[in-house]
Amino acid sequence: MRTVLNILNFILGGFITTLGWLFATLISIVLIFTLPLTRSCWEITKLSLLPFGNEAVHVDVLRPDSKSHVMNAGGTFLNLFWLIFFGWWLCLMHISTGIVQCLSIIGIPTGIAHFKIAAIALWPVGRRVVSVEEAQAAREANARRRY
């Protein structure tokens, strides 16, 4: 079912958002001072191409032992920079694609996926794209560790 939904997403306009993320990735490579954003761009590019079966999870959830306040502060700074220069137009692109996909009954699941990615597009630094099963296992391990 995931494969069918991923193909449907691609046909109904998901390739446009993927091209937008690839463009943002190339810009972050060309501009030297934005190289720290490249990993996040690439991770969300994968999610934009294959939104079903994958999930964006913060690295603190995946590896809670390697939590660093300095890295979190740096990530916040990069996210603010991202929001100003890249995030808003990628978010608008996902929202508009999601609205167009939701106009047809068959495109509603893919439209909802684009709305979820739109929220991630605003603040992507520190997120990794993993399978849904891996994300669930990491959340359960964190819950067991806390309680």
> Closest Cα partner for 24 from 94, 85, 75, 110?
85
pTM over 0.75: yes
Q: What digits encode the pLDDT tens for the residues 114-136?
A: 999 999 999 888 888 999 999 89
**113: containing domain:** 1-145
**Shortest CA distance to 52 belongs to which of 3, 101, 13, 93?**
3
Partners of 130 in beta bridges: 55
Query: Which regions of the chain does DSSP assign to beta strands (E)?
Result: 54-58, 127-131
Position 51 pLDDT exceeds 70: yes
* pLDDT attached to residue 69: 63
Residue 71 scores a pLDDT above 70? no
Count how many domains the chain has: 1
**pLDDT band of 142, cuts 50, 70, 90:** confident
